[in-house]
């Protein structure tokens, strides 16, 4: 078996607002919300690099589908957005803030030789925007 992660799904409280944040604010490409005709089916997918997809699904739909109800914690998971320069880190952080995200740590030089900052999306999901000279993303 090959290890493949092809979709990362984030639980959201307001699907339409979250779609606007990622589509309009961060400029992630999407076809918008699909599955509205199904109870607990509304979801939005965003195409990322390397065939990875980000899905936004209402928290209540995930709870219904899994049978679980658990409180969310911003420090359980971070999503890393690796970019090609310090200037690009600053640009993405500004883009997130302008879109309504909350900067929780301004971008700054790191102890390991990179440059990074953190923001939270509308539902509190924590994103690290990072320039890591040892892990440059492919074009």
**Biggest CA-to-CA distance, the chain:** 49
Residues 62-74: tens digit of each pLDDT: 988 888 887 778 7
Residue 3 has pLDDT above 80, yes or no: no
- Selection from 136, 94, 89 nearest residue 116 by Cα: 89
Instruction: Judge whether 92 lies within some domain.
Output: yes
**Helix extents (H) in 2-112:** 15-20, 59-66, 86-98
Sequence-ordered list of residues with C-beta below 8 angstroms from that of 5, at least 6 positions apart, any chain: 52
8 Å CB contact between 103 and 117:
yes
Instruction: Judge whether 139 lies within some domain.
Output: no
pTM: 0.86
CATH of the domain at 26: 3.10.180.10
8 Å CB contact between 127 and 119:
yes
Instruction: Judge whether 1 lies within some domain.
Output: no
Residues 35-60: tens digit of each pLDDT: 999 999 899 999 998 889 999 999 99
**What residue numbers bound the domain in which 43 lies?**
7-66
Instruction: Judge whether 2 lies within some domain.
Output: no
């Amino acid at each position: 078996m090959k290890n493949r992660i092809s979709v990362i799904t984030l639980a959201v409280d307001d699907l339409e607002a979250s779609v606007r944040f990622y589509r309009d604010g961060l400029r992630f490409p999407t076809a918008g919300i699909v599955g509205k005709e199904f109870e607990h089916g509304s979801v939005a997918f965003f195409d990322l690099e390397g065939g990875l997809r980000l899905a936004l699904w209402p928290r209540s739909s995930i709870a219904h589908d899994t049978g679980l109800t658990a409180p969310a914690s911003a420090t359980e998971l971070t999503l890393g957005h690796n970019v090609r320069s310090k200037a690009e880190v600053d640009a993405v952080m500004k883009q997130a803030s302008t879109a309504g995200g909350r900067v929780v740590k301004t971008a700054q030089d790191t102890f390991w030789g990179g440059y990074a900052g953190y923001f939270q999306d509308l539902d509190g999901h924590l994103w690290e925007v990072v320039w890591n000279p040892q892990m440059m993303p492919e074009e």
